[in-house]
Chain A
């Protein structure tokens, strides 16, 4: 019983963190209809920023959260302007962008290896704050609680942005129908660029906690993180950022239960969950199966 309680609580903390990992990818997909295959690599970059803030300047890694937010929103705007308008002209923009971001992911990974070396970095537990935290009689590292809180907060803020600001409302209009949004006079390009930047920033913020919850940061972690993010948002609701929490929690709980009761197979989980989910609940994923003639 004790073990189960621990696994469930840890699963919820991890689940909130996984929501944070996936939510940016989902926002990007919802607004741009693009799968950003370099998502995990932006998370990695955000993590390295936190790492260097601590190891070179002695600052708390948490300072990386606001810095990442500003930096990656700007980077997102830049990348958007460079890549997306041209992509939209290709014959199959969805597939073209998918392949392009795959290339970008490889390039970022290579640059990160050249810059940081091909090994794993971690941060001492004390960097984020001393000690542990007790929840319902179970003791967890403070970093887990901080990551869970960051996840919860990010989802709430994104929700407020999307549903209670004018820009957010415009963003939802673009999600619902790009054409209609253009026809209604919205500056779809700028709204999309901002959403893309926010998506990257959310990934980078998630990266701040990666040294604690993902066991470290390394230049080659991107692909695995992207797969995990994709799994989370597919389980939740693809294209609906707030629905990511459902996916994150299911994923976090499943992972913790696997680690507790079948640890040697736990690494298989994201891949199996992804394939099974795609095959069993493919609604909305089948796109081209029937064309309204």
Chain B
């Protein structure tokens, strides 16, 4: 059980840091976004790290969650309950899209990207203005509550970290990795391949959906392109690759370090940051394909 203790410590430290940070650092929206990206990177990790499917359109679930939760808030649902609505909306979308899991490798990634773009275009289509406000975006200022939404975000983060820990330590997580390495052999080891993959897919969508909901609540005014921006997917992917997929600490470390860098460089000159992470991806693939944590793992050190 020493591994379990390591995970518990890692999660506790990370959450404590996010809980205490607002007292020391004034820009709370940066802290909120960082927590959101840690959760998103870990949510992507659930799918990519443990099943090998890389969803370029991960933001589709984020945006769907944002819209689902926001429309629920506008319809009078209490925000905390609305976050569940957002998560549920994403899970429903993921369930409809499960046939995508029949595709492998690049085909899956591009198809997932296409569905995210399609969601953005559908939501922002002027013909749907009565339902989604079309391109004009949503305004939740009546429910605006930066304090509560920050704490809601931390709860989502805690649940997400617990989920990744579970996958990292449980037989189910091993089974998923077996499917990732070779679905045929996994089936011959008795693993219900389709069920296992679908479960990871839906869980991963639920994470993005609830993060999207909390993000929308925190932001309170947003447009379709705000919550369906491809760069959200890209961030989550880069953070995960940089830190190291299929671990608990990898994506979180990647998100904290790179998001801090982004805040320092990117907010004023986003294209410099885009250049940095573009080149970073190229460099990672060529020289460090398993991320920072692999540097330790190569030396036989167990990374939570």
Contact = CB atoms under 8 A, between A and B. Distances in A.
Contacts of A91: 289
B109 interface: yes
Nearest to A33: B106
A35 B107 CA distance: 9
B113 interface: yes
A104 B111 contact: no
B106 A103 contact: no
Interface in B259-295: 271-272, 274-275, 277-282, 284-286, 289
Contacts of B99: 279
Contacts of A166: none
A3 to B, nearest CB: 21
Interface in B61-112: 99-100, 102-107, 109-111
B280 A230 contact: no
B4 interface: no
Given A87-B286, A102-B281, A274-B111, A35 B103 contact: no
Interface string B218-259: 000000000000100010010001000000000000000000
Given A268-B121, A291-B184, A293-B184, A274 B54 contact: no
A265 B122 CA distance: 8
A97 B241 CA distance: 14
Interface string A257-293: 0000000110110111011001100100111111101
Q: Which 5 A-B pairs have the closest CB atoms?
A: A103-B281, A107-B278, A106-B278, A110-B275, A110-B274
Contact of A110 (B184, B272, B286): B272
A190 interface: no
Given A275-B100, A282-B102, 8 more contacts: A94-B106, A98-B109, A107-B278, A223-B113, A270-B114, A274-B114, A286-B104, A288-B104
20 contacts: A35-B106, A83-B286, A91-B289, A94-B106, A98-B109, A100-B282, A103-B279, A105-B278, A107-B279, A109-B278, A114-B275, A118-B271, A227-B110, A274-B110, A275-B114, A279-B102, A282-B103, A287-B105, A288-B104, A288-B183
Contacts of B125: 264-265, 268
B282 to A, nearest CB: 4
B184 A103 contact: no
A113 interface: yes
A160 interface: no
Interface of A: 35, 83, 86-87, 90-92, 94-100, 102-111, 113-114, 118, 223-224, 227, 230-231, 264-265, 267-268, 270-272, 274-275, 278-279, 282, 285-291, 293
Interface string B6-17: 000000000000
B165 interface: no
B118 interface: yes
B106 A98 contact: yes
A271 B115 contact: yes
Contacts of B285: 87, 90, 96-97, 99-100, 103
Interface string B116-127: 011001100111
B281 A99 contact: yes
B103 A278 contact: yes
